[in-house]
């Protein structure tokens, strides 16, 4: 009597071998998303005993008994080694059983025979990911989707691995292909909406989320994502409502509650924000950011005593760390309590009299309070306390420079440069001060000293190129210098501004316009860059555009008499 298993085996054998050539002439093929037959990557076993084991394994798979199926496939390979179709089954079943190392091994064996086998590459990538090797996994998955772009599973796996590696564009590509291939996959629609929101494409994200919710109205996280999208679209009231609804279901989601707090603060709803941040802090009592926000809101609401308690708690969390004292002073400064902010900083400095960071803290806070003389005095005390340390000297130089005391600042930068241990930025700051003092040759010399030590320093290359352009000299060298800087950072707005300014000085207005329009975009309308573009437009007789750029420059630098005169002089 013939057994049921044997009858089933015969049926499988017919399906597996129908129309297949011999093993030697076997063409490469791409398996589908379902269980692959041996003919998908190699012909059926030639050894009858191996064939029996293989078909028994297929029967075990059909019955959902994966461990026994794996055992049968391994027996088949032992009897008839090197069969890619059976190796592929081993890899797939091992993956299903969580045996990632074995799945990786057998997927690799298939790829040795057939390097373009999409399913083997997908299994290899999946196993590598499970084994904590995401970078290698991504390479294998890219091979899989290149070999067979019609498998949604391949794109889903690629998207998840790319997510771990923070390759946002690739994440978007993966989920986009997944929804194109399987438009009923609500999770793929949701993930694509989320990644588009991350990319700032909120209108697209809104449409995608609508599709996801239509497929799964109760998908966890949908309310949060909808709130994030509405926030991005500039609809804070709608965002707040969605965040509140999300929190009704997920009360422990403090990350969303923090977003709600930020929106409430921006809307001036301080009492509500105070209540919400209190929930965050009770859930996470040691969260220093939450303590700081609650203290700030307490001050806004006039709860000064409570704010004082919270600020003391901040200091007490790390009494020897001046960063905590700086945070406290910063909160007080933001609320217009400059005297208290300075007093807190001075108190920390007195309590740590031997620590030069106390004087640096005082210098920082006094500078923020507008006390330039007190800030410089504190910075000088810090320098005296640790004469061999660079950090206090950098602070002193920056303070002097910010307050327009370029001669004094030049002395600090020159001393740092002479020490030979200072970073390149000391030399670049020295060049800036010398130029402001009218010593152009001294400025050029300072930057050339930096380049002598660091010939590929992009900031120094750009500084010297811009310096030449601004003074209308050595323009050929300026073009080369800025070009070398841009070769390293092609999307640096400041460097594009420099090259545009070089082109302007050379009279190459079309090239200047191209670079400066891009530079304005990359620098969000930096006033100097806008002025430069206005000059180009003026010389091109594009008066309306020139007026627009000069006005934009003045909005950010209202005291610039030079730009105001240019704007007034337009006809």
Q: What are phi and psi of 34, to 5 degrees?
A: -90, -170
- Under a CB-based contact definition with an 8 Å cutoff, are residues 195 and 176 in contact? no
Q: Give the per-residue SS3 of 117-151.
A: CHHHHHHHHHHHHHCCCHHHHHHHHHHHHHHCCCC
Element (H, E) at 532: helix 527-539
Residues 6 or more apart in contact with residue 277 via CB below 8 angstroms:
257, 258, 261, 290, 293, 294, 297
- Under a CB-based contact definition with an 8 Å cutoff, are residues 39 and 23 in contact? no
The whole-number pLDDT of residue 176 equals: 97
- The Cα–Cα gap between 190 and 171 comes to 12
How far, in whole angstroms, is CA 250 from its chain's centroid? 27
- The Cα–Cα gap between 520 and 522 comes to 6
Count CB atoms within 10 A of the CB of residue 211: 16
- The Cα–Cα gap between 53 and 38 comes to 13
Q: Indicate the SS3 state at residue 43.
A: coil
- Under a CB-based contact definition with an 8 Å cutoff, are residues 80 and 47 in contact? yes
- Under a CB-based contact definition with an 8 Å cutoff, are residues 30 and 39 in contact? no
Residues 6 or more apart in contact with residue 409 via CB below 8 angstroms:
397, 398, 400, 401, 429, 433
Over the Cα atoms of the chain, what is R_g? 34
Per-position pLDDT tens, the chain of length 571: 333 333 333 333 333 323 222 222 222 223 333 433 333 444 456 678 888 888 988 998 889 899 998 999 999 888 888 888 899 999 999 999 999 999 999 999 999 989 999 999 999 999 999 999 999 999 999 999 999 999 999 999 999 999 999 999 999 999 999 999 999 999 999 999 999 999 999 999 999 999 999 999 999 999 999 999 999 999 999 999 999 999 999 999 999 999 999 999 999 999 999 999 999 999 999 999 999 999 999 999 999 999 999 999 999 999 999 999 999 999 999 999 999 999 999 999 999 999 999 999 999 999 999 999 999 999 999 999 999 899 999 999 999 999 999 999 999 999 998 876 677 889 999 999 999 999 999 999 999 999 999 999 999 999 999 999 999 999 999 999 999 999 999 999 999 999 999 999 999 999 999 999 999 999 998 999 999 999 999 999 999 999 999 999 999 888 899 999 999 988 7
- The Cα–Cα gap between 214 and 216 comes to 6
Of 152, 150, 91, 93, nearest to 125 by C-alpha is: 91
At CA 482, angle to CA 478 and CA 483, rounded to 5? 110
The whole-number pLDDT of residue 46 equals: 66
Q: Tell me the residue ranges of DSSP E strands in 42-201.
A: none
| Tally of CA atoms within 13 A in the half-sphere of 88 that contains its CB | 31
- The Cα–Cα gap between 190 and 224 comes to 12
Element (H, E) at 508: none
CA distances from 78 to 60, 81, 271 (A): 18, 6, 73
- The Cα–Cα gap between 446 and 434 comes to 9
How far, in whole angstroms, is CA 2 from its chain's centroid? 64
Element (H, E) at 378: helix 372-385
Q: Where are the alpha helices (DSSP H) in 437-526?
A: 440-453, 458-470, 475-488, 493-505, 509-522
Q: What are phi and psi of 48, to 5 degrees?
A: -55, -40
The whole-number pLDDT of residue 421 equals: 66
- The Cα–Cα gap between 79 and 204 comes to 56
CA distances from 368 to 330, 362, 371, 381 (A): 9, 10, 7, 18
- The Cα–Cα gap between 442 and 467 comes to 12
The whole-number pLDDT of residue 15 equals: 32
Check residue 235 and report its DSSP letter.
-
- The Cα–Cα gap between 196 and 175 comes to 10
Q: Evaluate if pTM is beyond 0.85.
A: no
């Amino acid at each position: 009597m013939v057994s049921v298993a044997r009858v089933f085996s015969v049926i499988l054998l017919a399906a597996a071998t129908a129309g297949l050539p011999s093993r030697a002439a076997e063409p490469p093929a791409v398996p589908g998303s379902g269980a692959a037959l041996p003919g998908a990557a190699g012909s059926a076993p030639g050894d009858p005993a191996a064939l029996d084991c293989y078909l028994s394994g297929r029967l075990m798979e059909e019955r959902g008994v994966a461990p026994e199926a794996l055992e049968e496939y391994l027996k088949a390979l032992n009897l008839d080694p090197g069969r890619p179709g059976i190796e592929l089954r081993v890899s797939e079943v091992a993956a299903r059983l969580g045996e990632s190392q074995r799945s990786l091994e057998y997927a690799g064996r298939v790829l040795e025979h057939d390097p373009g086998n999409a399913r083997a590459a997908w299994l290899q990538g999946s196993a590598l990911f499970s084994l904590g090797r995401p970078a290698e996994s991504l390479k294998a998955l890219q091979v899989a989707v290149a070999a067979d772009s019609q498998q949604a599973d391949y794109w889903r796996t690629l998207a998840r691995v790319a997510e771990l590696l923070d390759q946002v564009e690739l994440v978007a590509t993966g989920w986009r292909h997944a929804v194109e291939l399987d438009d009923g996959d609500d999770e793929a629609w949701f993930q694509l909406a989320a990644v588009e929101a991350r990319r700032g494409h909120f209108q697209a994200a809104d449409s995608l989320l609508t599709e996801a919710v239509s497929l799964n109205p109760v998908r966890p996280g949908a309310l949060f994502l909808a709130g994030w999208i509405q926030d991005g679209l500039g609809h804070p009231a709608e965002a707040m409502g969605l965040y509140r609804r999300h929190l009704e279901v997920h009360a422990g989601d403090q990350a969303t509650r923090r977003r709600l707090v930020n929106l409430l603060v921006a809307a001036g709803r301080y009492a509500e924000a105070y209540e919400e941040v209190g929930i965050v802090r009770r859930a996470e009592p040691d969260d220093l950011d939450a303590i700081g926000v609650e203290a700030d809101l307490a001050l806004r609401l006039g709860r000064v005593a409570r704010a004082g308690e919270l600020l003391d708690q901040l200091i007490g969390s790390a009494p020897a760390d001046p960063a905590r004292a700086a945070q406290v002073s910063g909160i007080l400064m933001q609320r217009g309590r400059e005297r208290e902010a300075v007093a807190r900083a001075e108190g920390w400095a007195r309590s740590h009299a031997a620590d030069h960071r106390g004087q640096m803290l005082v210098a920082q806070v006094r500078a923020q309070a507008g006390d330039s003389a007190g800030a410089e005095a504190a910075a000088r005390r810090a320098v005296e306390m640790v004469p061999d340390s660079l950090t206090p000297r950098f602070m002193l130089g920056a303070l002097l420079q910010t307050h327009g005391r370029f001669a004094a600042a030049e002395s600090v930068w020159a001393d740092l440069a002479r020490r030979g241990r200072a970073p390149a930025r000391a030399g670049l700051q020295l060049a800036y001060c010398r130029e402001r003092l009218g010593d152009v040759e001294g400025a050029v010399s300072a930057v050339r000293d930096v380049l002598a030590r660091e010939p590929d320093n992009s900031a120094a290359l750009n500084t010297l190129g811009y310096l030449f352009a601004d003074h209308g000299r050595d323009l050929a060298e300026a073009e080369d210098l800025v070009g070398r800087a841009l070769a390293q950072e092609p999307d640096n707005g400041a460097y594009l501004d420099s090259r545009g300014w070089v082109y302007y000085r050379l009279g190459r207005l079309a090239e200047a316009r191209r670079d400066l329009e891009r530079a304005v975009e990359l620098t969000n309308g930096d006033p100097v860059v806008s002025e430069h573009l206005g000059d180009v437009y003026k010389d091109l007789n594009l008066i309306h555009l020139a007026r627009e750029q000069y006005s934009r420059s003045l909005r950010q630098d209202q005291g610039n008499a030079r730009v105001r005169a240019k704007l007034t002089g337009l006809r």
